[in-house]
Amino acid sequence: MERRRFLGLAAAAGATGATAVGAFTAAGCGTGTGTQSAALTVVAADYGDPGRGNGSQAYWNSLVNAFQRKHSGIAVDVQVLSWKDVDRKVAAMVAAGRPPDIAQIGAYADFAAQGRLYSAREVLSIPVQADFLPPLAGAGEVRRVQYGMPFVASTRLLFYNKTLFARAGLDPDAPPRTWEQLARAAARLKAAGVKIPYGLPLGPEEAPAETLLWLLSGGGSYTDKVGNYTIDAAANIKTFDWLRDRLVRRKLTNRDPGGTDRQELFDAFVRGEVGMLNGHPTLLEEVRRRGVKYGTAVVPGAEGPSDGTLGVADWVMAFRQNGRREEAGRFLDFLFSEKNHYAFADRYDLLPVTTSANERMRGHAEHKPLRRFQDELVSAEFYPVGKVSWAKVSADLKKSIGKAVGEGPGPAGVLGAIQRRAEARDSEAEVP
């Protein structure tokens, strides 16, 4: 499944490492009735699997058709790309001097720092901008100005297999609330023959998310309250010491956490091979479809349920170069209207980013399993995506953090090295 495998790689390429690509072609466009030069150009990511008939192009086609019935003078061309390609290709378009008018991708800060983006207040009407959930609006800011408009979001909860819990003699209605309870449950699951008692994905796909979940549950984070990196803080080193000593070295996780991606463990979970892991809303669809008896709980913390949880968002941004501020604003207002925004979140079991669409989702009984995720979103902590250096720091985490639970230099050495590189990149990326 190509649904970004799933949402959560928010620190993708930014504006680096790209090669030039051409402007939109007829084969690459979604809909639009005007000429190429006249059309508002939009690049968006695919959250579905076109091979299974649930690709995102159908949503955008329907949205554009409805928009053009109200705004017949504004043609819109939408190009939907795989998450493997979309960040890189948008960066390439920008580098080649041909940015789209609107992009829906994983990161915005590089473009904002270069002065390429309209601020949210320049393109959105006041009611639409005010409708964003405050934590998400704040996560879209660079130096207190919002440039990133959240598109959809997710949070994380602990998923556990009730059937495997019962087999191990554990109460299937009493998930672990603390690290020690999690370690004891994992040991019982291992003794009962469960292949992977706790799924720990520290491979490139999920490393920044799984890491932040553990840091938050231990009272730490990636940054302090004023935005300085704190990757090697004492609380974070203590967290990874515990993770290495109490789970990894006791063989209560997958064999190679640093080489294991999230999708591997999600697939193993729905096959009944994983006792516990941290998951997000899109995992619900698969466990329901496969008939897995599962439960969810707040992520365990050092002394009790974690006070903080991870929030992840994807972003919409409007580029200045083509001067299409008014047209882009009208389309974005339409995109974020309650009906249209809810339709996308509903289609892919993701969390809406506006207050109005969130309340609408709460009112639908079929989305009851999502309510706990919605509750967590209100107080979630997001990646420091407003820092221009974050894309490179995230890439470093993906490459290096797995070593912290291995047999090498240990958590203090690994986290310290990542911290030093993060500080250097932060200095290089100072916003003028």
Q: What is the pLDDT of residue 6?
A: 37
Under 8 Å between Cβ of 72 and 38? no
SS3 346: helix
Is 80 exceeded by the pLDDT of residue 246?
Answer: yes
CATH number for domain 157-308+388-428, candidates 3.40.50.2300, 3.30.565.10, 3.40.190.10, 3.60.15.10? 3.40.190.10
Q: What is the number of other CB atoms lying within 10 angstroms of the CB of residue 379?
A: 12
Please tell me the distance from the alpha carbon of residue 15 to that of residue 226, in angstroms, as a whole number.
Answer: 25
Under 8 Å between Cβ of 198 and 247? yes
335: nearest Cα among 343, 326, 325: 343
Instruction: Quick: pLDDT tens for 22-41.
Output: 344 333 344 443 333 469 99
Give the per-residue SS3 of 317-335.
EEECCCCCHHHHHHHHHHH
Q: What is the pLDDT of residue 252?
A: 98
Residue reference for tokens 């949070």: 155
Listed in sequence order, the residues at least 6 apart from 205 whose beta carbon sits closer than 8 Å to its beta carbon are 5, 8, 9, 261, 262, 263, 398
SS3 241: helix
Q: What is the pLDDT of residue 84?
A: 81
Output DSSP code: residue 301. B
Instruction: Quick: pLDDT tens for 257-269.
Output: 999 999 999 999 9
Fold match flag (26-154+312-382 vs 157-308+388-428): yes
- Residue 398 amino acid letter: K
Domain parsing of the chain, residue ranges:
26-154+312-382, 157-308+388-428
Instruction: Quick: pLDDT tens for 280-319.
Output: 988 998 899 899 999 999 999 999 999 888 999 999 999 9
Listed in sequence order, the residues at least 6 apart from 37 whose beta carbon sits closer than 8 Å to its beta carbon are none
Long-range (24+ apart) CB contacts under 8 A made by 226-229 are 227/384, 227/386, 227/387, 229/393, 229/419, 229/422, 229/423, 229/426
Q: Which helix (H) or strand (E) holds 315?
A: strand 310-318
When pLDDT is averaged across residues 378-395 and rounded to a whole number, the result is 90
Q: What is the pLDDT of residue 429?
A: 73
Q: What is the number of other CB atoms lying within 10 angstroms of the CB of residue 224?
A: 11
Please tell me the distance from the alpha carbon of residue 422 to that of residue 297, in angstroms, as a whole number.
Answer: 33
Instruction: Quick: pLDDT tens for 131-167.
Output: 999 999 999 999 899 999 999 999 999 999 999 999 9
- Token pair of 268 as six digits: 């193993």
Is 80 exceeded by the pLDDT of residue 21?
Answer: no
pTM, entire model: 0.84
CA angle 154, 158, 387 (to 5 degrees): 40
When pLDDT is averaged across residues 62-88 and rounded to a whole number, the result is 93
Listed in sequence order, the residues at least 6 apart from 77 whose beta carbon sits closer than 8 Å to its beta carbon are 24, 29, 30, 31, 32, 36, 39, 40, 41, 42
User: CATH classification of 26-154+312-382 is 3.40.190.10, yes or no?
Assistant: yes
Residue-averaged pLDDT of the chain: 89
When pLDDT is averaged across residues 321-329 and rounded to a whole number, the result is 97
Under 8 Å between Cβ of 377 and 178? no
- Token pair of 242 as six digits: 């515990």
Instruction: Quick: pLDDT tens for 156-200.
Output: 999 999 999 999 999 999 999 999 999 999 999 999 999 999 999
